[in-house]
Amino acid sequence: METARTFRDALGCYPTGVALVTVLEEGRARALTINSFASVSLEPPLVLWSLDRASLRYDQFASAPRFAINVLGADQEALALACARDDDLGRAGGQWTEGTTGVPLVRDAIARFECTLDAVHEGGDHIIIVGRVAAFDRPRTAPALVFHRSVFAAAH
């Protein structure tokens, strides 16, 4: 196989949506930018995302009993970049409200999924986190933010 960089570049040919995983920690909304979100099952409603074992935020997110997946709109690129650098959602410029399960929900996201931890699976240098969806909504209609070949874009 080629190098890890060329493998990553090949993966980048597949456009992915961009989302923030959010958790509440000591009253503060914490956020992590991801592009590994996917549906798993409709019955029961399950979704997944993956977390790098080397992430500085690993401990905050790996075993959180509740979390939210906030699908970002194309106009939220700055928030995605800010949360990639800083896990404090407020400091990163994100506004949020508390969901029905107590997790932070990004105010202007285009879809939000409140989840409880269902399972964690080994996945090489990542773990795969499966969440059972307890509630969801679609607060606004807008094009989704996507990541393609290391560049953000709007889904059409």
pTM over 0.85: yes
pLDDT at 8: 85
Lowest mean pLDDT among 23-27, 73-77, 92-96, 151-155: 151-155
Q: Give CA–CA dist 112/3, Å, rounded.
A: 36
pLDDT at 80: 97
Pick the closest to residue 65 from 101, 33, 90 (CA basis): 101
Pick the closest to residue 72 from 25, 34, 42, 115 (CA basis): 34
pLDDT at 4: 85
pLDDT at 1: 56
Q: Is the per-residue pLDDT at 148 higher than 90?
A: no
Domains detected in the chain: 18-147 (2.30.110.10)
pLDDT at 34: 97
Q: Is the per-residue pLDDT at 127 higher than 70?
A: yes
pLDDT at 150: 84
User: Quick one: CA torsion of 87, 90, 95, 101, rounded to 10 degrees?
Assistant: 60
Tell me the pLDDT tens digit for each residue of 55-106: 999 999 998 999 999 999 999 999 999 999 999 999 999 999 999 999 999 9
